[in-house]
Structure 1
Amino acid sequence: MLEEVERWLATRSWSAGERPLDLLLAAKRAAGPAGTVSVVLPARDEEATVGAIVAAVRRDLMAPGAALVDELVVVDSGSRDRTAEVAAAAGATVIARDDILPRLPALPGKGEVLWRSLLVTSGEIVCFVDADLREFDSRFVSGIVGPLLTEPGVQLVKAMYDRPLETGGTVVPAGGGRVTELVARPLLNLHWPRLAGFVQPLGGEYAARRSLLERLPFPVGYGVELGMLVDALALVGLDALGQVDVGVRHHRHQDEAALGRMAAAIYRTAHMRLARGHLVRPRLTQYDRAASGFVPSTHPVDTEERPPMLAVPEYLRHRAA
């Protein structure tokens, strides 16, 4: 198994600089309709960062003569701030989550937004980017789209990067990704060791062929990235997966309670794929100190999943049109 992972790292791990934009544009032209690219930003209360991301993609990857990206869609997941207004002003197409597939009441969670985005995009390559990134570099898009345009056998590509922890005025160079190191990486190494080579298995920046995404179930919450990797491995095999080094990722870090809920959802996603069995208690109790002592608060753990998009009649009509 170790030899297989090492071989995969040598043949399916790249750097964004290996594929300059002119090479990608030539590959895109040669691919024809199969080379169309949609970029999706799931967003909730990200007015501080979403505009700069949209502006960078439009400037670097959608300008005349350099149009690697065909459409840029921000799916607003019930923002209470000016996320939608800022994204639209920067040039994105903004669509409210609840306006997509309205017959099906929306569930809270990032995976829900990603799943619904397939209904409002048309590219044969779909690239997801988190909307809370700071100091955004358009290589986060071109880097992970690149192998899908130049390597016919590749189906899904994750971004890898350094992830500093920036909190309280201090920076820990490799301190980010705490849930990755404490939960996701141990789970993958123990149960799906063929995926042990992924540097950032939970990262929100990845691109995939629509033909793969429409066959995958989508956990509605934070388990979506781990679930997608495990399910893609089962569907298309390790050599159809890759990763690209895009540099450094700066983003907003969540507090420990939120990370705990994320960890529980990821464990639940792994549990479902390991056993498809009965979970005794899909809830997580956490504690906050108050004047009277420690006060418990209990939160549901994301357990819902959306079916493969090919099972949704509206999607089939959308694709036929």
Structure 2
Amino acid sequence: MLEEVERWWTRRSWSAADRPPAQLLAAKEATGTTVSVVLPALNEEATVGAIAGTIRRELMTPQCPLVDELVVLDSGSTDRTAAVAAAAGARVVHRDRILPRLPALPGKGEVLWRSLLVTSGDVVCFIDADLRDFSARFVSGIVGPLLTEPDVQFVKAMYDRPLGSATAEGGRVTELVARPLLNLHWPRLAGFVQPLGGEYAARRGLLERLPFPVGYGVELGLLVDALHTVGLDALAQVDVGTRKHRHQDGQALGRMAAAIYRTAQVRLARGHLVRPQLTQYERTADGFTPSTTPVDTEERPPMTAIPEYAARRAA
């Protein structure tokens, strides 16, 4: 690890326990900072209600008003995700109702980008909607440095990721794709434990200046672009414990890896992809059958380039 990264680690890596609720609330009141929490969701009826309910009960009460706004961004669910989230106290917004002049593209990054148009917090906190055994420290932990450290702009959660046994670890795409890419091409980001984690918070003023890859590459893209926009010392990470969630199968992980690699490639050279597709194989009765899917190639521009967003901010 670079000496610069070692120094960064000692200054910008914390535990959620380092900032008790009283300290966070005092800092929030003193600065007047508002906090929005966004849950991107696609067919997550089994888990989204527990997450939203925990945030409402523990972080949106008169005793602990840490979160000002809780929004579930429905990415086209066909189950009861929207109803369950609303019953748990979240405001539910369908992806297609935001910026209707621009047809929505499929992908997580798309809904994160659109969420900036329907939230108002000075700090925006993203939480994946498939987490199990969710704890409010996922929110308070990563929002904390943005309330107490004026120079911090972007905070990632770090955690253990069990894969269903005491020894197996999740984060396979992180270890096989993202971590090698970052260490080789952006070694200043080598200190991030969970660079692809879906739990992170940032100041709106930074997010609105960044492009958003529409698909699986959004986490890597935002992290790399944040580094180049505000510098390493403005980035941080917080240990929130253990993250349990639904794991993807090998085929889905392959598609995720391809999108992440493509996001890295664009940032390395802004080059042209000759064939932005991925072919995978499944064994069938006739032997191995190929299946080809496109790799996410679209990116949304910084939100400050969108007239509707500028008008909303001006109002």
Using structure 2 for the length normalisation, give the TM-score: 0.99
Between stretches 117-126 and 171-180, larger displacement belongs to 171-180
> Alignment partner of 1:165: what SS?
coil
1:146 to 2:140 alignment: no
Q: Report Cα offsets for 1:140-194 as digits up to 9, x if no partner.
A: 000000000000000000000000002xxxx144510000000000000000000
CA distance in 1, matches of 2:280, 2:312: 43
> Alignment partner of 1:107: what SS?
coil
Equivalent in 220, 232, 239 of residue 226 of structure 2: 232
Which residue is equivalent to 2:192?
198
Q: Answer yes or no: is the 8 Å Cα contact 1:162–1:174 preserved in 2.
A: no
CA distance in 1, matches of 2:20, 2:121: 21
Cα distance, 1:256 vs structure 2: 0.3
Map 1:289-304 to 2 at 5 A: 289-304=283-298
CA distance in 2, matches of 1:115, 1:230: 16
CA distance in 2, matches of 1:174, 1:16: 24
Q: Answer yes or no: is the 8 Å Cα contact 1:39–1:69 preserved in 2.
A: yes
CA distance in 1, matches of 2:263, 2:168: 26
> Alignment partner of 2:65: what SS?
coil
Q: Answer yes or no: is the 8 Å Cα contact 1:163–1:173 preserved in 2.
A: no
1:17 to 2:20 alignment: no
1:45 to 2:43 alignment: yes
CA RMSD of aligned residues (A): 0.7
1:212 to 2:206 alignment: yes
> Alignment partner of 1:295: what SS?
strand
- Distance change (3 Å), C-alpha of 1:58 and 1:26: same
CA distance in 1, matches of 2:94, 2:75: 6
- Alignment length, in residue pairs? 315
> Alignment partner of 2:8: what SS?
helix
Q: Which amino acid aligns with 1:54?
A: A
Q: Answer yes or no: is the 8 Å Cα contact 1:109–1:220 preserved in 2.
A: yes
Superposed structure 1 runs of 4+ greater than 2 Å apart: none
Q: Which amino acid aligns with 2:252?
A: A
1:312 to 2:306 alignment: yes
Q: Report Cα offsets for 1:90-116 as digits up to 9, x if no partner.
A: 000000000000000000000000000
> Alignment partner of 1:130: what SS?
coil
Identity of matched residues, % = 80
CA distance in 1, matches of 2:167, 2:129: 22
Using structure 1 for the length normalisation, give the TM-score: 0.97
Question: Which sections of structure 1, spanning at least 5 residues, go unmatched?
Answer: none
> Alignment partner of 2:247: what SS?
coil
